[in-house]
Structure 1
Amino acid sequence: MAGLGRRTHYRKHLTDSVLNDLPEPKEIEKIAKVVSTRGLNQFDILVASQGDEVDANRTPQLAILPTKFHKLVWVKRNDFVIVETGDDSTENGDDKKDGIRFMISHILYKDQIKHLKSKSLWPVNDPEFESEAGEEVIEDPKEEDDGIVYGNDYYDMGEENDDDLFVNTNRLARLEIQDSSDSESSDEE
């Protein structure tokens, strides 16, 4: 923990709990995906659908990050979170009121998402939550012909070209003179 500077006991243990705990949503909590950020710790989220029905016309809802997480935990687009519902108007379908309806209680990382999937608490039928569920696939380099594929990029390694190499212009290049006349005259004799 060297180099972290001074941190209070509260902030140190809050960071530890965010990174290492395995939270599970309670009755008033739901799993959501951050769609965009609005600034001032406000986020647009898509709440996971309950049951087998998936609403295709879902609109992003507004959520806020509590002050205890300020300058300690950062949330970016496409992150998954557990949110507490503030009022019951979203469950009844009453969308007249535009405002902050959710408060982020947990930020989910890869290990926490795996834990929720193993406990069958992860939304299964929702396409927003199936494909991107924190599973970043890193492909191993595969050799093809005379090239290498990293991710979606193909690098041709068949021809070696020195023109692509970096040339340091801060150093003077060594001037080498090859005298071909001396080698020709020695060969003739």
Structure 2
Amino acid sequence: MHRSHPSISRRKHLMKEMMEDDYALPTETQQIARVISSRGNNLHEVETVDETFLVSMPNKFRKSMWVKRGDFLLVEPIEEGDKVKAEICKILTPEHIKEYTKAAIWPDKFTKKPVQEEATSQNKDDSDFEDDLLPNTNRPVNRDSSDEEEDEETSSEED
């Protein structure tokens, strides 16, 4: 009988657990944190509303779940940690974020700007950026068609 690789079945069960999540709200000891960077050895630097510190990824998530910069986590403090102050309890999905926002427990620090404000600020940044660009000297400068017509008229009159 052929058995599947243990890590594949573990990953399958973790994914199933994550999909069937009841979106339980964090306990009093748990905190919502955003990943700032990965430090290696299953350590991640995170920021909460108050501070920045390292968290560890528990064995059950290793090699089956990945987090990247900007992801949100639910972390629980650990007592024995000096530099590593917490352990990851849950990797939050957009559905978790919606539920936490509805329950009014999502930190204001992590709330995104409205889309219109982002687009407006991005357009301002783009126009500033274009103004700062120097002309490309490797390409010939294209003149307007009206300038060319005037030049042709003056050259034909001179002949």
Q: Does 1:69 align with 2:53?
A: no
- Counterpart of 2:32, as a letter, is I
Structure showing the higher helix proportion among its residues? 2
- How far did residue 19 of structure 1 move? 3.5
Q: How high is the TM-score relative to the length of structure 2?
A: 0.60
Deviation string for 1:69-90 (max 9, x for gaps)? 11111000010000001139xx
User: Hey, what's the Cα distance between the residues in 2 that align with 1:84 and 1:98?
Assistant: 14
Give the aligned CA root-mean-square deviation in angstroms.
2.5
Q: Could you tell me which residue of structure 2 aligns to residue 101 of structure 1?
A: 85
Counterpart mapping for 1:149-164 below 5 A:
none
Q: Could you tell me which residue of structure 1 aligns to residue 17 of structure 2?
A: 17
User: Hey, what's the Cα distance between the residues in 2 that align with 1:112 and 1:29?
Assistant: 14
- Counterpart of 1:106, as a letter, is K
Q: Could you tell me which residue of structure 2 aligns to residue 130 of structure 1?
A: 111
Q: Could you tell me which residue of structure 2 aligns to residue 114 of structure 1?
A: 98
User: Hey, what's the Cα distance between the residues in 1 that align with 2:34 and 2:47?
Assistant: 5
Secondary structure of 2:85's match? strand
Deviation string for 1:42-72 (max 9, x for gaps)? 00000124xxxxxxxx4x2010110101111
User: Hey, what's the Cα distance between the residues in 2 that align with 1:84 and 1:103?
Assistant: 5
Secondary structure of 1:16's match? helix
- Counterpart of 1:61, as a letter, is F
- How far did residue 26 of structure 1 move? 0.5
- Counterpart of 1:69, as a letter, is F
Q: Does 1:78 align with 2:78?
A: no
Q: How high is the TM-score relative to the length of structure 1?
A: 0.52
Secondary structure of 2:60's match? helix
Question: Unaligned regions of 5+ residues in structure 1, if any?
Answer: 50-57, 89-96, 138-151, 153-189
- How far did residue 32 of structure 1 move? 0.4
- After superposing on structure 2, the runs of 4+ consecutive aligned residues of structure 1 that deviate more than 6 Å are none
User: Hey, what's the Cα distance between the residues in 2 that align with 1:61 and 1:121?
Assistant: 21
Secondary structure of 1:69's match? coil
